Each structure stands twice: as C-alpha cells, then as structure tokens.
Amino acid sequence: MTPVQGAGGGAHKASLTLALGFVAVLFGLHVLQGPRNVPLETFPALLFDRSPASFDQFVILHLRLPRILAVVMAGACLGAAGFLLQTAMRNRLGEPHILGLNAGASLAVVVLTAFPLIPLPVAAKPFAASLGAFLLFGAVLALSAGGRDRFSPVRVIFFGIALSAMANALVSAILILDEDTLEQLRFWLLGDSAGVQMSAIAAAAPTVVIGLVGAALVMPRLAALSLGDNLARGLGASVKRTRLIALLMAALLSGSAVSLIGPIGFVGLVAPALWPRLHNKPSVAALLLVTLSGAGLLLAADSLAAGILAPRELPTGALTGLVGAPVFIWLVLRTLR
C-alpha cells in the first residue's frame, strides 16, 4: 500500500498540533502581558460574570482581547495569502508586502479616509482594502505578463516593489497635505495593533472567512499547478482560472489584514518558509499549517513589540520588518542563484 496522500491530513498531524500548541501558548502569554498586572483569579470569573464591574475585566475584554484577536486574524491572513501567492506564482519570494498587495490596500484605505465621498461604514473598509490590493497586484501582473519569462519571480518582485513605492509615495503625499488623516492613520501605517476595536474585527470577519474558505477550495488545483502549466492543463485544471481565484483570495486576505492592523511585512514570507517541503504540496492541511504559523509569528512579534521597551511600545510592523528582512535576504540568496 502507498502512504497517505491526497488530502494529506495524517501527514501533517504532528506539525499541526505543534503549531496549534504554539499559538495557544503565545495567546495565553499575550493575555497576561501588559502594564497592568491582572491577577490570574480574574480569568475564571470572566467566563461566568460578564458585568464590566472590575477594571481588570475591562482591560482583558476591551483592550487585550480585541488586540490579540486582531493579531491572530491578521497573522493567519498573511500566512495564508503568502502561501497562495507563492504556490500560484511558483515563486518562493511571493508575499503581500513585497508584491504590492499591502501598498494597494493601504492606498485604498488612506484615499477613502482622506476623501470620504460617501460616509464609509466600518464594515466596508476590509472590502475597500481588498479591492486596492487586487487592483495594485493586477497592475503588477499585467506588467510582468509580457516577454518570454512570463511571471518570472524576479520580474514580479521588481514590479511589485516599483508599484509599492509609487503607492506609498501617493500615501505620503496625501498625508502631508491632510493632517487630520495623518493623525488618524500614523500608527496604523506602520502596522499597529494597539487600540483595535471589536467592531473592526467583526467587519473583517466576512472577508477573512471568504478568503480562507476560497483558499482551501483552490488548494487541489494549486497542487496540479505545481507540476507546471502544461501538466496542470492536461490534468484538467485551468491555469488562468486557478491563478485568478488564488490571487483574488490573496487580495481578500491581505486586505483584511491591512484593514485590521495596517500593512505588515514578511509574515507572509516567513510562515510558509518555516515548512520548506510544503510548497509543492498545497492541501487543506498545508494551508491550515501556514495559517496557524502566520498567526503564531505575528502574535510573537506583537508580544515582543509591546514588551521589549515596556512601558513604551513599538509598532508591530517595525518588528516584523526587523526580523523578516534578513529572512527575505537569505531566501533571495538561496533562491535566485
């Protein structure tokens, strides 16, 4: 008999358990972390008594929990988006920040905040951010589709960086001219999780769910695509449609993450890179693994950002950049020989 394959659930059981345990531990540590020392006895009480009588309870339920939930969601989205981009483009350096999805989403949010043509409901923000991500990455793809080396990793990354620079320049210009918007978005633009509201989390939930379910459904097609365009077509997986679905889902996920805690780099790169044998085996279990890894990585980064210079806090995005950029350089040295 041949070993377990296809769905691949069994093969990743140990790694999945490990990743889940890691996320749970980080979650627990993060809840306990903060300038105010909340005694452990408060926690069991939270389960039974929801009256906002005590200040400890208020801190946990309204300050720490939303922040941690937002970080978990954004990290999961970035990990899944990175995996989608890397498998759909067959490019191990694919990542929402480098390929321009984050810059597109940021630009969309900044434009809508600075020039509110219609009063935009909170619930529409993740969709607007996703649309921005999709449009900018669409432009990156249109530019890199020509020539013999269609969608070669170097081309896609080059145009991703170039268009990100352009979008970021527009963001800077808008913010310099509009101080109100700058005040509102200053920290968010660096990737900041402090002060996330429950309403923002609820608003992002639909796009996160659609993105993750869509990603899970497109996994078998991406597995066929990993054999090359011609074999994928021979197996009956339409290459164009598969790529389009994967990129739409990546845009929804990046947009959700950006709308929650701003443009965060490198989590989408590092989460799949933790499991180097997964790239040619897209499956629902593999997606779950990178999703959990992304959540764990961003939780760890957020914990460090909040604690390393306590009581002062660093923006989370600054920390992921500090850790992620060297990983990116290492991957470039290894991949693009």
Sites of contact with other proteins (CB under 8 A): 1-7, 220, 223-224, 226-228, 230-231, 233-238, 276-281
Q: Are 35 and 307 in contact (CB under 8 A)?
A: no
| Backbone phi, psi, residue 207, to 5° | -65, -35
Distance between CA atoms of residues 20 and 289, nearest Å: 9
Q: How far is the CB of 217 from other proteins (least distance, A)?
A: 8
> Measured from the CB of residue 269, what is the shortest distance to other proteins in angstroms?
18
Q: How many CB atoms lie within 10 A of CB 203?
A: 20
Output the smallest distance, CB 305 to other proteins, in A: 34
CB of 327 vs other proteins, minimal distance in Å: 19
Nearest to 320 by CA among 99, 95, 165: 95
Rounded least distance, CB 147 to other proteins, Å: 12
Q: CB-wise, 7 or 209, nearer to other proteins?
A: 7
DSSP state, residue 222: H
Please give the Cα distance from 193 to 206 (Å, whole number).
Answer: 20
Residue 71 to residue 325: CA distance in whole angstroms: 20
CB nearer other proteins, residue 19 or residue 285 = 285
Q: Rounded to the nearest whole angstrom, what is the least distance from the CB of residue 14 to other proteins in the complex?
A: 17
Considering the complex, state which of residue 237 and residue 257 has its C-beta at the smaller distance from other proteins: 237
Q: Tell which residue, 215, 231, 331, 221, has the closest CA to residue 276.
A: 331
Nearest to 102 by CA among 267, 244, 212: 267
Pick the closer one to other proteins by CB: 8 or 100.
8
Rounded Cα gap, residues 228 and 33, in angstroms:
47
CB-wise, 177 or 227, nearer to other proteins?
A: 227
Identity of the residue, 242 or 316, whose beta carbon is nearer to other proteins in the bound complex? 242
